[in-house]
Amino acid sequence: MVHSPPQSRLVAARGALLGAIAVPGDKSISHRALMFSALAVGTSRIEGLLEGEDVLATAAALRAMGATIVRRDDGVWQVDGVGVGGLMQPDGALDMGNSGTSTRLLMGLVASHPITATFTGDASLSKRPMGRVIEPLSTMGADITASPGGRLPLMVRGLCPAVPIDYTLPVASAQVKSAILLAGLNTPGITRVIEPVPTRDHSERMLAGFGADLSVTETAEGRVIALRGEAELRPQAIVVPGDPSSAAFWLVAASIVPGSDVLVRNVGLNPTRTGLLTALRLMGASIEEQDPRTVGGEPVADLRVRHASLRAVEVPAELAPSMIDEYPALFVAAAFAAGTTVARGAHELRVKESDRIAAMAAALGACGVAVEEHDDGLSVTGTGGAPIAGGATIATLLDHRIAMSMAVAALHAAAPITLDDAAPVATSYPAFFATLDQLTGHRA
């Protein structure tokens, strides 16, 4: 994979955001659509696939293992799968770029196939621990050799047949859950994952759609997802809804910039992904759901968001699994609320593309915002709606969400904010800055 060179970018306040936009396809669903299509027998079609660097890394890895994946001229992606158990030995290392999702889920895929794959990534991804995936996949029989600290580069030697397991997630992680289920697809017997705290359920929904024998049961111990292995997946026509994690930036931007009125079309509203909506509404945000509907088995609506006076709240910790990727945007919203917002329960932020707790504390602090860092979140004292000072250069740390969140903060700052590197935005939202220009009428 070719990585973009660093791109410094200065972002200044531009006035109100106005208009209607669509956000890229959901990143989580895009990854899974490619993987499950690659394991089906026959041809699947995917509309609305996110064409960011992370998802393209997944596509390249699946091609290296035998799947035929092409983007048609009409923008639809076509996948000719190899069937469960049909993955082939890749000729070289699989370059995951910056994508933790690609890495963890594909490790699960390889773990129960008779192949060996080496996973590499960029500097940011190579710092992220993979132990939480290594442990259950090793229990299933995969032989995994990792760099010190359970990090990349690492090698996975799959076992076929692998051993089915019953595994209780020690931390709420949809990636770990999905990695185990992907390994379970080519494993005889029934693989079970027990979730004490529910996480995003895109894998379960999509696996059922592809014809896997899967059940979800609520028990006293939590949600039990049971998957019968040696599955035969049927090809599907998939429509990917808009990514709520990408919509988050416009929900916050329109909320904090006076005079803003934005309609974000076709946003996925899977109940395991709507924590930010809940938190923003608790803070007094004006967000209206229009035309609720179902697209590709997922609930979807258009979201109209208008500027509102935000107030500080204590964000319920139980929202963390349903908004884990949106915390940086939430911290920005808190910077403009009246009072001190406390957002905790998000230990997972420490091991994302960057340590997002420390990164956002440093970024907001450099822009004049009063921030207190906790081990699992931040307390942010807001301006009550006034502009923040701004004027700082932000270390984005190869993290797309830090870059986009601080670009949003700059839209209501007294002085422009410089992002030391905006290139990582391309991993999930290549059109972010073009969309910002659209909503602000190119006003500099």
User: What is the signed CA dihedral for 107, 109, 114, 117, rounded to 10 degrees?
Assistant: -30
The answer as to CATH 2.40.50.140 being correct for domain 27-239 is no
Residue 356, marked binder: yes
pLDDT in tens, 132-168: 999 999 999 999 999 999 999 999 999 999 999 999 9
| CATH 3.65.10.10 in the chain, residue ranges | 9-25+241-439, 27-239
Query: Please, are residues 107 and 133 in contact by the beta-carbon 8 Å criterion?
Result: yes
Q: For residue 192, is pLDDT > 90?
A: yes
Residue 27, marked binder: yes
Chain-wide mean pLDDT for the chain?
95
> Rounded to whole angstroms, how far apart are CA atoms 247 and 302?
10
Residue 100, marked binder: yes
Q: What is the pLDDT of residue 180?
A: 98
Query: Please, are residues 412 and 384 in contact by the beta-carbon 8 Å criterion?
Result: no
DSSP conformation letters of 316-358 = -GGGGGGTGGGHHHHHHHHTTSBSEEEE---GGGGGSSS-HHH
Q: Which residues are catalytic?
A: 325
Count Cβ atoms below 10 Å from residue 237 Cβ, excluding itself: 11
pTM, whole model, 2 decimals?
0.88
In terms of CATH architecture, what is 9-25+241-439?
Alpha-beta prism (3.65)
Residue 281, marked binder: no
pLDDT in tens, 41-96: 999 999 999 999 999 999 999 999 999 999 999 999 999 999 999 999 999 999 99
Structure confidence at residue 296 as a pLDDT band (50, 70, 90): confident
Q: For residue 97, is pLDDT > 90?
A: yes
| Strand ranges (E), 183-271 | 190-195, 214-219, 222-228, 237-239, 261-268
Residue 4, marked binder: no
Residue 63, marked binder: no
Residue 401, marked binder: yes
